[in-house]
Amino acid sequence: MKTLLLFVVTALAEIVGCYLPYLWLRKGGSLWLLLPAAASLALFAWLLSLHPTASGRVYAAYGGVYVTVAIFWLWGVDAVRPTRWDLLGAALCLAGMAVIMFSPRTV
């Protein structure tokens, strides 16, 4: 559960770090949005370093959580209700993340 929560917080940091420049570039937001965006992306990179397994495995599994968090961002922030296909895709991504992160390993 700790790993999944860390992935969710990491995904939120990445999404915020990309969403704020989008607001500046596409929605006429303030240039000042780039400062918290940069901080959020730095936080994202640091959070990825906290995962206790090989970096390639972390990046692969993180992708599944990122997709899921992005679908809920679409719903909560952009006010676009996900389709059942969006939700099915997110569920498949989470299943892939679980296989990658939680399968038994020999050291």
- For the chain, how many structural domains are there in total? 1
**Would 91 be classed as within a structural domain?**
yes
Range of the domain at 95: 2-102
Report which of residues 102 and 24 the model is more confident about. Answer: 24
CA–CA gap between residue 53 and residue 38 (Å, rounded): 26
Does residue 3 surpass a pLDDT of 90? no
Range 22-34 burial, b when 16+ CB lie within 10 A, else e: eebeeeeeeeebb
Q: Report, as an integer, the average pLDDT of 50-79.
A: 87
89 within some domain: yes
Once rounded to an integer, what is the mean pLDDT over residues 25-40? 95
pLDDT at residue 48, as a whole number: 84
Please tell me the predicted confidence (pLDDT) of residue 87: 97
Cα 51 from Cα 47, distance rounded (Å): 7
User: Would 83 be classed as within a structural domain?
Assistant: yes
Interval 58-87 mean pLDDT: 93
- Looking at the domain assignment, is residue 107 inside a domain? no
